[in-house]
Amino acid sequence: MEREFSAGGVLVRTIRGRAMVAAIRPRGKDRVWALPKGHIDAGESAAETAMREVREETGVEGRLVEKLGDIRYVYTANWEGRKGERIFKVVSFFLLRAVQGRIGEIDEAMRVEVAEARWLPLAEAPRSLSYDGERKMAAKALERLGA
Ligand code: ATP
């Protein structure tokens, strides 16, 4: 089976005393709330990818805290040429602390992929995120932060 490797971030910041996490709504999946992530480019470490993708998809710069873990899933390709092919995917997630930038202030080109980026309460993220693996990463971040 074809394999794919991505990396992403659980980007946190405190707003009025409350721990928040950056989540995105991927374009074309209007009810999905997901963590920012993307393909690991050649020559990039997974942590570098996570920080780059978080910045590109949310508009917020993060500082690396630690690795949280890997999630795995299988999905079916639906793009031209590979329709129906099963793909095994591994995504490494990192805990990041927001350093600067305003959420949602992203490049015009990025809006093709991201419909919306928003701070969600971290305590609720193990329920409000759409994918099970990402919910587990949010739960790990909560544990790590003692929040
Ligand atoms: P990337 O953000 O890594 O560049 P992508 O946008 O090309 O990736 P995915 O987000 O992996 O692709 O989405 C491919 C398919 O897998 C979609 O149908 C999506 O709904 C599904 N998917 C995405 N994340 C998960 C997950 N954590 N668990 C299960 N299925 C997922």
Which residues pair with residue 13 across a beta bridge? Answer: 20
CA 34 to ligand 1 centroid distance, Å: 9
For residue 17, how far is its CA from the centre of ligand 1 (angstroms)? 32
DSSP β-ladder status, 61-76 and 86-100? antiparallel
Residues of the chain with pLDDT under 70: 147
Distance 21 CA to ligand 1 centre (A): 19
Smallest Cα–Cα separation from 62: which of 21, 17, 3?
21
Ligand 1 atom with minimal separation from the 26 CA = 6
* Cβ contact 145:19 at 8 Å: yes
* Of residues 10, 12, 21, the one with CA closest to residue 68: 10
Domain total for the chain? Answer: 1
Say how many Å lie between the CA of residue 103 and the centre of ligand 1. 22
Residue 113 vs residues 9, 24, 91: alpha-carbon distances, Å: 16, 10, 18
Closest ligand 1 atom to residue 29 Cα is: 20
Over residues 56-83, the pLDDT tens digits come to 999 999 999 999 999 999 999 998 988 8
| Domain of residue 8, residue span | 2-145
Specify the residue with its C-alpha closest to ligand 1, atom 2: 38
Ligand 1, CB cutoff 6 Å, lining residues: 6, 37-39, 71, 73, 75, 89, 131, 133-134
**pLDDT (0 to 100) of residue 74:** 98
Counting residues of the chain whose pLDDT is more than 90, the rounded percentage is 94
Q: How far is CA 130 from CA 27, 99, 102, 134, in A?
A: 14, 26, 23, 8
CATH number at residue 31: 3.90.79.10
Structure confidence at residue 11 (pLDDT)? 99
Residue with CA nearest ligand 1 atom 13: 75
Query: What's the confidence (pLDDT) of residue 30?
Result: 84
> Alpha helices, DSSP H only, in 92-145?
125-128, 132-145
Question: What would the two tokens of residue 27 be?
Answer: 């374009």
For the chain, the residue count is 147
